[in-house]
Chain A
Amino acid sequence: MNWAAVLREVVTWHAMAALIGGTLAGLFVGALPGIGPAVGISLLLPLSYFLPVGDALLFYVSLYQAAEYGGSITAIAIRTPGAPNSAAMILDGYPLNQKGQGGKAFAYSLWAAIFASYVGIAGLFLLSQPISGAALALGPAGFAALGLFGLTAVATLSIGSPLKGVIAGLFGLLLSTIGTDLITNVQRFTFHQPALYDGVPLIAVLVGVFALPEAIRLLTSQEQVEKPPLSHAQYRVWLHWPEFRAVFGSMSMGTVLGFLMGLLPGVAGTVPPWITYNIAKAMSRHPERFGSGEPEGIVAPEATNAAVMHSTLIPAFTLGIPGTPTSAVILGAMVIGGLHPGPLLFAKSPDVVYELFCGLLISTAALWVIGLLTTQLWARMSAIPKKPLAIAIISLCITGVFVSRGNPVDIWICFVFGALGYSMDRYGFPVAALVLGLILGSITETNMRQALLISSGSPLIFLQDPISLTFLLLSALAVWGGFWLRTRVLKRAAALASHVASGMDGA
């Protein structure tokens, strides 16, 4: 690896503009309740047609990173999480703010995010190449089983009914078959529509299932959002060394556990911060202080969120299996940019990947500086009226989807998937599983058919290949684990969340 060339590419003006722009965009979308990084990235996906793929990736990943802290800003300022996985920040962040120490609460959150981000980036550097190298040993049967494992894990391990997750994943797989079959050149489900010859347009689908449902929800919501306090003193974001040292243990615990949980597809998301919050409380010398502004109750979930964000990129880049909806959208951006996430990514485009990793080192520092200076601004952003924002989002969806291919049919496809995404979200079907099925479907199908051709049609090849057998067993374990998690851990986490939320409503 030519590190000099990589670093030269990272410090160019356009790469710097991408990472700073992504950081600012991430803080903005993170601070707006209900928007979140997945919606933000999907809205800005059309940019990937106009930017070099390295800059586009740097923009989206910087956005993802900054949005994690952005979601905590509103959780601390107005008791409303900017994203679902920031909900745990309300427990101690908001009470600390109410005591007049909002700046300290933001500081604990920001420092924890920065610390965990650098640990996560170190993990990206150390683990990505070895995992990718090991994955190169996969044959067609192994690749197909890997795709099925990823899909099964996301479908069954996320919160909600495993049956709904499996159905969503299967539907995504079916959607991936629309278009021209690469092996036999047969048109499948195109109905002689040229717009579908290359398959369903990925941008239209991603914008439709992520951004449009949120816009509809904002437009029809009657919810009133509390206005943030106006005192400038409450936004002085700084930690002294003794304060940092006092929470270092919880911060480290949240980082390590979050990093490990983020490696597992489907587990990452809203559950890990609640788990580490509980552990921090159990480990603390003063558990009775949790819920009333205890700093350890802020740093543990924040560090977890930041670590999860980075570690989900490892299976996404090395195996092509995104662990969160946002990393699924980032994979979509990579596919649009001509990259092929998975084991071949490091073999064919190592410079792009390592430019991204090096760029993250700089964007994390940028997040720290921008966070120190502008937290008050983002807290005020949360008071933006939701209905005009929703209308702006719809305008951006329509325009952005059109410019990706210049085809008005894409807008109708976006609307159809918007209606589908809204219905799925409303009734508990995980959209992430559908998106993952769509992204992984082509690779999974191609390898499955190649394996069957090698074995002259015998499905035993999937059991005879040891790697394939391992992934199939892991898939079965994921199905069992999904039911176990749902009945034990997730129910407890959900009960804790609702108990605390109802307690805060009554306070």
Chain B
Amino acid sequence: MSGRLTGERCVYVLFALCGLFAVIMSGSFDAGFGPGAAFVPKIFGALCCVFGAIGALAPGGGAQARIAARELGLIAGGFALYGLFFAALGFFWDAVALALFLTLTFVPTRRRWIVLALEILFVLVLYAVFTQLFQVQFPRGLL
């Protein structure tokens, strides 16, 4: 093992841990290895754990990409932001708020206001299509 913590190894470890978790948790489903509810989770969980460990321990090879802190931050930040918006605004407005925030963050300044207007128009069209055409009820209305 190269000892280098890479994104690829983390994914292998994630799958191995999920497999191990499945094997441990499935012990409570029913007794024994017979074709009961625990059968598939135990077998395939064990295989997932073994293969994941093999991949994580393999010396080098494959993509040695480092964990991209920027990408992790973007994904984790997106999660956290959406959660904040959801807690504060409830559904639909949280999606609108996230779209507006991403526009202000990622779109170049000179196009920002045009894009903001188009994004607002887009979500309004989405709202109209789902509520009027497909009769979907959103938890909080537009007004």
Contact = CB atoms under 8 A, between A and B. Distances in A.
A445 B42 CA distance: 12
A185 to B, nearest CB: 9
B102 interface: yes
B35 A170 contact: no
Contacts of B39: 445, 448-449, 452
Contacts of B30: 184, 186
Residue among A219, A385, A398 with most chain B CB within 10 A: A398
A394 B99 contact: yes
B126 interface: yes
Contact of B48 (A161, A170, A188, A216): A170
A448 B44 CA distance: 13
B40 A427 contact: no
Nearest to A215: B102
Contacts of B84: none
Interface in B110-143: 111, 115, 118-119, 122-123, 126, 130, 133-134, 136-139
Interface in A379-430: 385, 387-388, 390-392, 394-396, 398-399, 402-403, 406, 408, 411, 415, 418-419, 422-424, 426-429
Contacts of B133: 50
B25 A189 contact: yes
Interface in B5-35: 7-8, 10-12, 14-15, 18-19, 22, 25-26, 29-30, 34-35
A177 interface: yes
A406 B136 contact: yes
A170 B51 contact: yes
B36 interface: yes
B34 A388 contact: no
A415 B74 CA distance: 12
B119 A398 contact: no
B39 to A, nearest CB: 6
B86 to A, nearest CB: 7
B98 A398 contact: yes
A184 B62 contact: no
A239 interface: no
Contacts, number: 164
B98 A394 contact: yes
A395 B55 contact: no
A167 B119 contact: no
Nearest to B21: A189
A61 to B, nearest CB: 22
A398 B92 CA distance: 9
B65 A395 contact: no
B15 A171 contact: yes
Nearest to A441: B40
A186 B30 CA distance: 9
Contacts of A181: 29, 37
Contacts of B26: 188
A423 B119 contact: no
Main secondary structure of the interface of A (DSSP, over half): helix
Contacts of B40: 173, 177, 441, 445, 448-449
A415 B94 CA distance: 14
Interface string A165-207: 0110011011001000101101011000000000000000000
Contacts of A219: 74, 102, 106
Contacts of B11: 423-424, 427, 429
Contacts of B51: 163, 166-167, 170
A365 interface: no
B22 A399 contact: no
A387 B126 CA distance: 19
A380 B107 CA distance: 20
Interface string A340-353: 00000000000000
B107 A170 contact: no
Contacts of B18: 171, 174
B63 interface: yes
B134 A50 contact: yes
Contacts of B62: 161, 427-428
Contact of B63 (A183, A385, A396, A428): A428
Given A171-B15, A391-B106, A415 B45 contact: no
A374 interface: no
A457 interface: yes
A188 B37 contact: yes
A99 to B, nearest CB: 34
A453 interface: yes
Contacts of B123: 395, 399
A184 B52 contact: no
A418 B26 CA distance: 26
A498 interface: no
A426 B64 CA distance: 11
Interface string B74-92: 1100110010001000011
28 contacts: A164-B55, A167-B55, A170-B44, A171-B15, A173-B44, A174-B22, A174-B44, A177-B22, A177-B40, A181-B29, A183-B36, A188-B29, A189-B25, A219-B74, A388-B118, A391-B103, A392-B119, A394-B99, A395-B96, A395-B99, A399-B95, A418-B75, A427-B7, A427-B63, A448-B35, A448-B40, A449-B39, A457-B34
Given A163-B51, A188-B41, 12 more contacts: A164-B55, A170-B48, A177-B22, A184-B37, A189-B41, A219-B102, A385-B111, A388-B118, A391-B103, A395-B122, A418-B75, A457-B34
Interface of B: 7-8, 10-12, 14-15, 18-19, 22, 25-26, 29-30, 34-37, 39-41, 44-45, 47-48, 51-52, 54-55, 62-63, 65, 70-71, 74-75, 78-79, 82, 86, 91-92, 94-96, 98-99, 102-103, 106-107, 111, 115, 118-119, 122-123, 126, 130, 133-134, 136-139
Per CB-CB distance, the 9 closest pairs between chain A and chain B, nearest first, are A452-B35, A449-B35, A186-B37, A427-B8, A170-B48, A181-B37, A398-B95, A445-B40, A388-B115
